[in-house]
Amino acid sequence: MTNGTVAFLRGKLRKIWPGLPSTRVAWQRSVEGAIRDVARLTLATVLGYLLTVKLLPPPVDLTGALTALLVTQASLRGSFRAGLVRVGAVVSGILVALAVATFVGLHWWSLAVVVFIALLVARVLQLGDAGLESAISAMLILGSVGAEVAAQTRFLTTIIGTIVGIVLPLVLPRRVQTADLTRDLRRIALRLRSVYRDAARYLTVNSPNTQATRQWLDSVRAITPLISQADQVLDEAADVQHLNTRQMFQANIVPLLRGGLDTLERTLLATRQALTVMPTTGEVSESPQSEDGYGDDVRIQFAIVLGAMGEAIEAYEALLEAEVAGGVHDAEAHLTLALAKVRTARHDLSALMLADPSQAQLWVRGGSLLAAIDQVIAEVDLDAYCQARDSWRSSQLGRSLPAGSIGPRIRSPWGLLAQHRLRQRAARARTEHPEGSYEVSSDETTVLMPAVPTEPGKQ
């Protein structure tokens, strides 16, 4: 089997199964996440069973263990708020099933009644997509309860299982992985860079035409779903961050990454605008110089600009990844160099377009093209990023990053509470006495403290 055939089959498989991991690292991350979730579900089931055995008289009822499994599964999936909605759906289905099972056993008509009532309650409570879990939970409970178990015992085991399913995810919450949050942003940046690189390679030897421009626009439009996917991942991470006891003292990187995602989205729109106003064959075919109306020098210089823009976008995303890790010096220098190349190439392109005053009509179209290029440059500008970064850092004082901490590190909940009170007091002071307040930049108040390695045997 040739490499081309393997690549073709792999592409088809990704379309059929988009979530299938494609690399060894992705497989490893997927397996590790699955093991953690399955371990939590198993622990919840066993705890529900053990508490039922210890707290309630025989006979042993598995309703508590099953309820703990269902509620924990609902709590682990998605964000914290979505988990609460799923918990409500599961509990409502369990209660409906218990109410029916108290008087009748499992029959076709009792199954129909349970499913109908569970779905109706889910619709009335506006549970949305989680409403189906209400009916599923009701059917499982209806089929598992025995006639010899008293209704009071069933109700108590359900309460025990529900408590286990709610408390366990709070005690052992999901961990927000930085790699999971930055993965989609990197995919967006690499796809954008690929579009710019393909366009630059094509324009180096060919004049732009309608077909090539349409292909580039289609490639840019294909990136839009990745924006929505990344936004959903960040929303979920923001909710998981709340009440997360494992990451209480870690910096909340979601606001910084959301700002970077907004920047990439605006860059995507500016790229579409630049490709839309690009002169193509057929529109300016009467020009004596070349098919696009400009000379070969302009076309080649424009290819250089596109290539440099792709590198700048990739450098911007790399700076975001370095920021959430705690080390930005090399990344900032890389972005500065990439932006300098873009601005130099853009200046040369403008000079070449102005070289022939007789092309006034083409300059109007080229001016729109240059404006779109300037918008892309402005979006990934380092000064604008540093301003947003400084604001984020000042909101994360004392919290840790993988490579250190932002200012003196906070190590206790009392420190977080004291910091919160100081922020509230400062906000009130600025509101009550605006003439006496002074906004201090985070460069004056914060510094990224390096991580201090601990000696073996010491915490």
Instruction: Determine the pLDDT at residue 459.
Output: 44
Instruction: Determine the pLDDT at residue 264.
Output: 92
Element (H, E) at 450: strand 448-450
CB 313 within 8 A of CB 189: yes
Where does residue 250 fall: left (phi above 0), alpha (psi -120 to 50 degrees), or beta otherwise? beta
CA 237 to the chain's CA centroid: 7
Successive 10-residue mean pLDDT values, the chain, 459 residues: 66 62 72 83 90 84 79 62 69 82 80 88 79 79 62 73 82 74 88 92 84 89 89 80 69 88 92 79 44 67 90 92 78 91 89 65 62 88 88 78 65 69 73 61 50 51
Instruction: Determine the pLDDT at residue 351.
Output: 83
CB 117 within 8 A of CB 137: no
Per-residue CA distances from 399 to 74, 85, 442 (Å): 30, 31, 14
Exposed, middle or buried, 335 (CB in 10 Å: 0-12/13-18/19+)? buried
Residues 330, 185: Cα–Cα separation, whole Å: 19
**DSSP letter, residue 276:** H
Instruction: Determine the pLDDT at residue 411.
Output: 64
CB 94 within 8 A of CB 114: no
Residues 369, 359: Cα–Cα separation, whole Å: 15
Instruction: Determine the pLDDT at residue 284.
Output: 39
Residues 267, 260: Cα–Cα separation, whole Å: 10
Instruction: Name which of 39, 55, 293 is nearest 161 in CA terms.
Output: 55
Per-residue CA distances from 303 to 203, 208, 281, 459 (Å): 6, 10, 16, 55
Element (H, E) at 256: helix 254-276
Residues 94, 62: Cα–Cα separation, whole Å: 13
Instruction: Determine the pLDDT at residue 280.
Output: 62
Instruction: Determine the pLDDT at residue 30.
Output: 75
